[in-house]
Amino acid sequence: MIFILQILEKDHGSLNNMKKGDNNSTVTISAIIIAKNAEDSIENCLKSLLWCDEIVVVDTGSKDKTLDICKKYNCRIFNQGGKSYSLWRNVGRSKAQGKYLIYLDTDEEIDKNLREEMEENVSNWPHNVACFAAPRRNIIFGKWLKHGGWYPDYVIRLFKKDSLIKWNNDLHEQPEYVGRLEYLKNPIIHYKEKMLSEMLIKTNKRSETEAKLMFDANHPPMTVGRFLSAMFREFWYRFIRNLAFLDGGEGAIMGIYQVYSRFISYAKLWEMQLNKDNK
């Protein structure tokens, strides 16, 4: 009799272990983060995702304490080289065990209201819906910018895994999916750069990629007219259409900076075209 009870107790323990995640079907929500040298921001991001069943981190070459922080929160970590966010997001999808996926950047957080809204949609997933886009509250220079094109700034971040085919594009990656897109009400909190020096570093890297993509697509030769046209379109979008100045000095500075950022991308394109002609 004692022997039989011991067997039953052992089997019961095995069942409990399966419920805790040994069986992939018990993982409902997987959070996916792409990370590199994000020790200053990733911990708050991870804390906002502890309600998920698992957190998958695709690390693209961190040299700081990012991975130590991730290990502290029992993340599943995968190292991946390359330079494409689409590649990294697709790797995250392939490694995630959950039926539903949440993508979050290291400088983003999910608050209580968005968490509850996401949980409600996962519990009662609408028919034929593939994914949800959330508005994003961009905090720039420590201030929430509501104008200048910075809000609602929808980003698609919650997916039914089987409906997500893949991510495309090297820059400004976009998901390919089967089904309808719906919209969430509560925003993701996005803490962008606090200093212009940080923005300049990112702009330099991003503009290089943008210029290369335009160059490879055989963009027409850059002229004075095309430079002025590109900068005017950005100015119109930020200041005329979206009233960047209503956010005060921070809004005006960011509006002007976006015009500058657009100019840099086209200037690098011009440089590539010039170097090609001189060869």
Q: pLDDT tens, 162-206?
A: 999 999 988 789 999 999 999 999 999 999 988 999 899 999 999
Query: What is the distance in angstroms between the CA of the first residue and the CA of the last residue of the chain?
Result: 89
pLDDT, residue 21, reads: 40
pLDDT, residue 7, reads: 36
Residue that has been written with the tokens 């002609």 in this structure: 277
pLDDT, residue 278, reads: 76
Exposure string (b/e) for 79-99, b if CB count within 10 Å is 16 or more? ebeeebbbbbbbbbbebbbbb
Residue that has been written with the tokens 């994000």 in this structure: 38
Banded pLDDT at 14 (limits 50, 70, 90): very low
Q: How many beta carbons lie within 10 A of that of residue 100, not counting itself?
A: 26
Question: Looking at residue 27, which CATH number applies to its domain?
Answer: 3.90.550.10
Residue 133 and residue 253 share a domain: no
Q: For residues 132 and 121, is the Cβ–Cβ distance under 8 A?
A: yes
Query: In the predicted model, what is the mean pLDDT of the chain?
Result: 91
Residue 9 and residue 30 share a domain: yes
Residue 65 and residue 40 share a domain: yes
Instruction: Tell which of 191, 217, 242 closes a domain.
Output: 191
Q: From CA 39, how far away is CA 26, in angstroms rounded?
A: 31
Residue 219 and residue 181 share a domain: no
Residue 102 and residue 157 share a domain: yes
pLDDT, residue 171, reads: 79
The model's pTM: 0.87
Instruction: For residue 257, give its domain range.
Output: 196-277
pLDDT, residue 279, reads: 67
Structure token digits, residue 26: 């018990």
pLDDT score of 251 more than 60: yes
Percent of the chain at pLDDT > 70 equals 91
> What's the average model confidence in pLDDT over 102-128?
97
Q: From CA 224, how far away is CA 203, in angstroms rounded?
A: 22
Structure token digits, residue 43: 């911990």
Q: pLDDT tens digits for 15-45?
A: 333 333 444 458 899 999 999 999 999 999 9
Nearest to 117 by CA among 188, 46, 184, 30: 184
Angle at the Cα of 98 from the Cα atoms of 93 and 103, rounded to 5 degrees: 50
pLDDT, residue 106, reads: 97
Alpha helices for 48-195 (secondary structure H): 66-72, 85-95, 112-123
pLDDT, residue 11, reads: 37
Instruction: Tell which of 171, 191, 211 closes a domain.
Output: 191
Instruction: Tell which of 129, 161, 191 closes a domain.
Output: 191
Count of the separate structural domains present in the chain? 2
Q: pLDDT tens digits for 263-272?
A: 999 999 999 9
Residue 186 and residue 123 share a domain: yes
Residue 173 and residue 35 share a domain: yes
Residue 232 and residue 171 share a domain: no
